[in-house]
């Protein structure tokens, strides 16, 4: 099978490169789920989207979004058909693996001040040491004030770091298995080493005292405020072109802002659809889609109920009809074939970088455990519209049978009795501080999402 690059002419290549510039900029501004929601709202409002509470009556052509706690968001473009007839839904997640600060993080040890952390999502912990890390998130004060924090992205900003043991003294460490080489409780970030001026009877904790002074003066943060904070350590710096031919992007957080951004662009560019278009960008996928802002929350269903209530008369049955008559692409990254590790894949059913948007009929592990399995009838409809529009796509599985596996939010929406299939973009080094994806695949996914919103019936 040919790659996308062999099929693109110069004009199309230029389009692909231009689109990837915009995507890199989104990544640089959206390094946490909260920042992704902020950036989504900024881009959506530019296209005329309004928050639901600004809308009096819902009618065809309306562009509406619901913001859930600043951590997940649902966008709708109301179609000409009744909402009860179902929607075309794009779903992706905007949380990524990272290192969270604990609620009581700060301590001093032999003249150094560190912050204790608790990692989030499935990471190889040894990959997250000896790297420049930025601090992103919010600190919520008792008076209701929310302080937004982003330290480490500007070139003049300081960064923080989790140390690794020098190779010279690693004889014992190097004997350990991968999951034990660096252990969770040892992920402590170095944040300072200058002591505050010594006062009478004061000898201990002066470096920590100095860091607290800086936090107070520069950010109005006191030590107790960490209790009501959500601070995330993420790799510092911008998304970069990868490869001498610039065909790939290396960046933090492709999983799954790559599908979030392409889905968002698809709905923002959607025009007067027959069926209502929806785009859900959820939080907490990396830890099981749990909680109020995860895909399992009642949030999305509530949004649809609110829309129905402002369209005509809401009834429980109409809500259920709308959900079960909807079609969805649950978009998430897939495991891209890696020539350095070919043995984990089965070559006929593997996603390859540069071979287009990647569909998984099912995910799960072992005997398809935990999977949502799309019906062949649904897949046939999708194939038809993709082929009609010359979209480049591939069908794959996440690795060899019995090698491992994974899941997405597909099953959660499928539980509402709608047709859902996993779609997405192949990446290398998934969940590493920097992941790799093909610019061509990003563009094909974006095209596929636009066609799905417009033509799926």
CB of 290 to Mn ion, least distance (A): 14
Looking at the Cβ atoms of 77 and 295, the one nearer to Mn ion is 295
Cα atoms in the 13 Å half-sphere on the side-chain side of 26: 29
Looking at the Cβ atoms of 39 and 332, the one nearer to Mn ion is 332
**Cα 396 from chain centroid (whole Å):** 21
Whether the CB-CB separation of 413 and 330 falls below 8 Å is answered with: yes
Whether the CB-CB separation of 247 and 440 falls below 8 Å is answered with: yes
Strands 87-93 and 276-282: parallel
**Site map 317..336 versus Mn ion, x via CB under 5 A:** ---------------x----
**Site map 200..239 versus Mn ion, x via CB under 5 A:** ----------------------------------------
Between CA 194 and CA 144 the distance in angstroms is 32
CB of 314 to Mn ion, least distance (A): 33
For position 283 contacting Mn ion by CB under 5 A, the verdict is: no
Cα atoms in the 13 Å half-sphere on the side-chain side of 56: 0
Looking at the Cβ atoms of 35 and 332, the one nearer to Mn ion is 332
- Tokens 């590493």 sit on residue: 432
**Cis bond leading into 236, ω under 30°?**
no
Looking at the Cβ atoms of 270 and 293, the one nearer to Mn ion is 293
Whether the CB-CB separation of 446 and 421 falls below 8 Å is answered with: no
CB of 431 to Mn ion, least distance (A): 6
CB of 330 to Mn ion, least distance (A): 10
Query: Which run of H or E residues covers position 136?
Result: strand 133-140
Question: Please, which of residues 403-422 interact with Mn ion by CB under 5 A?
Answer: none
Looking at the Cβ atoms of 195 and 406, the one nearer to Mn ion is 406
CB of 261 to Mn ion, least distance (A): 13
For position 256 contacting Mn ion by CB under 5 A, the verdict is: yes
Between CA 257 and CA 38 the distance in angstroms is 13
Binding span for Mn ion by CB under 5 A among 111-119, 148-156, 250-258, 383-391: 250-258
CB of 36 to Mn ion, least distance (A): 13
User: What number of helices (H) and strands (E) belong to the chain?
Assistant: 11, 23
With 0-12 CB in 10 A as exposed, 13-18 as middle and 19+ as buried, what is 280?
Answer: buried
**Site map 72..111 versus Mn ion, x via CB under 5 A:** ----------------------------------------
Query: Which run of H or E residues covers position 398?
Result: none
Whether the CB-CB separation of 423 and 330 falls below 8 Å is answered with: yes
Binding span for Mn ion by CB under 5 A among 60-68, 145-153, 252-260, 437-445: 252-260
Looking at the Cβ atoms of 96 and 210, the one nearer to Mn ion is 96
- What lies within 8 Å, CB to CB, of 180 at 6+ separation is none
For position 255 contacting Mn ion by CB under 5 A, the verdict is: yes
For position 39 contacting Mn ion by CB under 5 A, the verdict is: no
Between CA 51 and CA 65 the distance in angstroms is 5
Lateral strand order in the sheet of 240-242: 240-242, 248-251, 435-438, 426-428, 334-335
CB of 286 to Mn ion, least distance (A): 5
Binding span for Mn ion by CB under 5 A among 15-23, 216-224, 255-263, 387-395: 255-263
Count of residues that bind Mn ion according to CB under 5 A: 3
Binding span for Mn ion by CB under 5 A among 137-145, 173-181, 256-264, 303-311: 256-264
Using CB under 5 A, list all residues that contact Mn ion: 255-256, 332
């Amino acid at each position: 099978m040919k790659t996308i690059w062999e099929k693109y002419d110069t004009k199309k290549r230029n389009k692909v490169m231009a689109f990837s510039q915009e995507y890199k900029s989104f990544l640089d501004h959206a390094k946490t789920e909260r920042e992704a929601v902020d950036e989504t709202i900024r881009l959506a409002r530019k296209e005329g989207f309004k928050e639901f509470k600004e809308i009096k009556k819902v009618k065809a052509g309306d562009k509406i979004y619901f913001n859930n706690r600043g951590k997940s968001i649902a966008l709708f473009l109301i179609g000409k058909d009744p909402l009860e007839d179902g929607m075309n839904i794009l779903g992706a997640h905007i949380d990524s693996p990272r290192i969270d600060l604990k609620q009581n993080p700060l301590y001093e040890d032999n003249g150094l001040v560190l912050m204790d952390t608790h990692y989030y999502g499935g990471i190889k912990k040894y990959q997250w040491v000896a790297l420049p890390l930025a601090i992103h998130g919010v600190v919520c004060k008792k008076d209701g004030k929310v302080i937004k924090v982003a330290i480490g992205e500007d070139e003049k900003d300081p960064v923080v770091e989790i140390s690794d043991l020098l190779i010279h003294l690693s004889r014992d460490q190097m004997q350990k298995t991968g999951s034990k080489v660096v252990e969770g409780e040892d992920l402590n970030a170095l944040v300072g080493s200058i002591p505050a001026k010594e006062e009478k009877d004061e000898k201990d904790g002066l470096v920590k005292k100095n860091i607290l002074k800086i936090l107070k003066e520069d950010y109005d943060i006191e030590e107790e405020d960490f209790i009501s904070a959500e601070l995330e350590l993420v790799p510092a710096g911008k998304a970069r072109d990868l490869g001498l031919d610039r065909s790939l992007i290396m960046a933090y957080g492709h999983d799954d802002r790559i599908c979030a951004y392409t889905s968002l662009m698809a709905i923002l560019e959607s025009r007067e659809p027959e069926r209502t278009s929806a785009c859900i960008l959820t939080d907490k996928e990396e830890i099981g889609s749990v909680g109020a802002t995860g895909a399992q929350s009642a949030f999305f269903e509530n949004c649809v109920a609110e829309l129905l209530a402002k369209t005509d008369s809401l009834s429980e049955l109409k809500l259920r009809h709308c959900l079960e008559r909807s079609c969805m692409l649950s978009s998430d990254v897939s495991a891209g074939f890696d020539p350095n590790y070919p043995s984990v894949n089965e070559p006929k059913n593997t996603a390859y970088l540069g071979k287009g948007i990647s569909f998984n009929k099912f995910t799960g592990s072992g005997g398809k455990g935990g999977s949502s399995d799309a019906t062949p009838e649904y897949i046939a409809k999708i194939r038809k519209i993709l082929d009609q529009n010359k979209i480049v796509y591939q069908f794959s599985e996440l690795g060899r049978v019995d090698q491992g596996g994974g899941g997405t939010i597909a099953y959660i929406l499928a539980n509402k009795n709608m047709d859902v299939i996993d779609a997405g973009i192949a990446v290398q080094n998934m969940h590493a501080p920097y992941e790799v994806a093909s610019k061509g695949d990003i563009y094909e996914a974006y095209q596929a999402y636009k066609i799905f919103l417009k033509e799926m019936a």
